[in-house]
Amino acid sequence: MFETFDHTADIGLRVSAATLEELFVDAARGLTSLLVENVDDVQPTQTETIQLAGSKVDYLLFDWLNELLFRFETRQLLCAEFDVRFSDQVLEATVRGETWDRSRHRLAHEVKAITYHGLSVQQTASGWQTELILDI
């Protein structure tokens, strides 16, 4: 589950999930929903792998979302499906999506950057939570 919240000149993303893998998947879905209004129209026609290393989970989440945003900005890749695994401080992910199609995908926000401002990832009694701010 993810939700957005208003933040001065930016937008916040708050995510709760039962597992760390689900937290990263839902955060990625939240990012995609901020990029395009009609997320359900993004088809999983292209598959790519992502591998990121990091010892701090909050910085790894930052790097994960930043990598997805980079792929959108440089290659117009919208990701719709995410399979995330962790092994020895390494995130390994398979992402599926397609190239942004102006005739089918309605842009929602111009996300300029993922920020460190307010970035937190916490394990709770019911799972995991994160909150972060995106520059729009």
What crossing angle do the helices spanning 20-35 and 57-75 adopt, rounded to 10°? 30
What would the pLDDT profile of 23-72 be if each residue is shown by its tens digit? 999 999 999 999 999 999 999 999 999 999 999 999 999 999 999 999 99
For the domain spanning 2-135, the CATH number is 3.55.10.10
- What are the structural domain ranges in the chain? 2-135
pTM for this entry:
0.92
Kindly indicate the confidence band of residue 7, based on its pLDDT and cuts at 50, 70 and 90: low
Amino acid type, 109: H
- Inter-residue contact 44 to 80 (CB < 8 Å): yes
